[in-house]
Amino acid sequence: AQSVTQPDIHITVSEGASLELRCNYSYGATPYLFWYVQSPGQGLQLLLKYFSGDTLVQGIKGFEAEFKRSQSSFNLRKPSVHWSDAAEYFCAVGAQLGSNYKLTFGKGTLLTVNP
């Protein structure tokens, strides 16, 4: 069965600083990988996704993530954080088994941005 680990429960950065959120996954085949962001009272919004091809994927709001098969990682990065980026971030892996498909999420990383 697939699983996702987000090692950092809470990260605090200063506005304008760079950001990297870690994600490690476990899955037997080539995974579908996703990063979602959840602001208080809001639904999950997709930031970016990886299916195949170029291992560096660009997303919305200036985020990018790099798929590293050898490390089973899919870390999320942003060069300069804005105060509005404060939210909870979830990494997820999608697994297909026959006609069935499900997303498995990590426990999330809460991002605080200091002015």
Residues lying near another protein in the complex (CB under 8 A) are found at: 4, 32, 36, 41-46, 49, 51, 90, 92, 94-96, 99-108
Rg (CA), the chain: 14
Rounded to the nearest whole angstrom, what is the least distance from the CB of residue 14 to another protein in the complex? 25
Rounded Cα distance, 105 and 3, in Å: 8
Separation of alpha carbons 28 and 42, rounded Å: 32
Cβ closest to another protein, residue 73 vs residue 104: 104
Tell me how far, at minimum, the Cβ of 10 lies from another protein, in Å: 11
| Least distance between another protein and beta carbon 82 (Å) | 23
CB-CB neighbours of 31 under 10 Å: 23
Q: Which is nearer to another protein, 68 or 102 (CB)?
A: 102
Rounded Cα distance, 16 and 33, in Å: 27
Q: Which is nearer to another protein, 51 or 83 (CB)?
A: 51
Residue 112 Cα to chain centre, angstroms: 16
**C-beta of 68: minimal distance to another protein in Å?**
19
Q: Which is nearer to another protein, 68 or 107 (CB)?
A: 107
* β 73-78/64-68 pair status: antiparallel
